[in-house]
Amino acid sequence: MQKRNLGSSGIQVSIVGLGTVKFGRNQGVKYPCAFELPSDQDVEELLAVAAGLGINLLDTAPAYGASEERLGKSLRGRRHEWVICTKAGEEFIDGQSSYDFSPHALTHSVERSMRRLQTDYLDVVLVHSNGDDMRIIEQDQAFDTLEMLKRAGKIRAYGMSTKTIDGGLKTVEFADVAMVTFNPSCVEDREVIASAHRKQKGIFIKKAFASGHASKDPGGNLRFVFAESGVTSVIIGTINPAHLRENVESCKVVGSIP
């Protein structure tokens, strides 16, 4: 599978990343169908399929239930083969999300993620925005905290999973990578993608299939996304190996993967 530079971070990622929210959380999610959490064997098998397809990017978060712990267990001894992107700022406990973007909370979250993932560094850490992107950046100074952690060698790159255009533009101005929503029915962040391309910053795409609500034509959606030259990688969240294979095959059909 083709790999692309994550901006100027020095990190190379596959153009398809595996989203792992379903590894650890099935409450308070916006997927069209209910699902059971996978077994440990299911997780191992899906990761093997992903690796076989050439995927090296995994997306997780503390708010994804036990996802980080399960990845840490499954990747033991193979951590160097993967680029791990996690998040900080959101907690999901007893069915409710809470947010804290203070320096103490972000630092604690990063260090806890390292323990859960059984690693001494994180490749990418994204602020898990509650929607108030600009306040998080300008008042909470979240990027200052992550920059200090980067200088300390705990993370290699950082940014934000954004929810506003202004937040996305500010992220690609001051950080390494932005994660934005982009699909045929949601194009507001096209300006952010273009700005990232000009500034040589990374772009991860979330909700390319609108959280499963627009998955009837995966090839069409992926063709649409990869038409934007600033896109680094699309995150596909699934626990179904066949679904993952189909989406990677769709990328081949549209010429995104040689």
Tell me the Ramachandran region of residue 125: left when phi exceeds 0, alpha when psi lies from -120 to 50, beta otherwise.
beta
Distance CA 241, CA 258 (A): 21
Helix (H, G, I), strand (E, B) or coil at 181: strand
- 69 membership: H or E segment, kind and range: helix 67-74
19 exposure class (CB count in 10 Å sphere: 0-12, 13-18, 19+):
buried
Is 99 assigned a catalytic role?
no
Q: Which residues pair with 157 in a beta bridge?
A: 124
For residue 24, the Cα-to-chain-centroid distance in whole angstroms is 15
d(CA 126, CA 105): 14
The radius of gyration computed from the CA coordinates of the chain, to the nearest angstrom, equals 17
Task: Given the residues 31, 64, 99, 158, select the one marked as catalytic.
Answer: 64
Strands annotated E in the chain: 3-5, 12-14, 16-19, 57-59, 83-88, 90-93, 96-99, 122-128, 155-161, 177-181, 202-206, 233-237
C-alpha–C-alpha distance, residues 127 and 114, integer Å: 16
d(CA 64, CA 66): 6
Q: What residues act catalytically?
A: 64
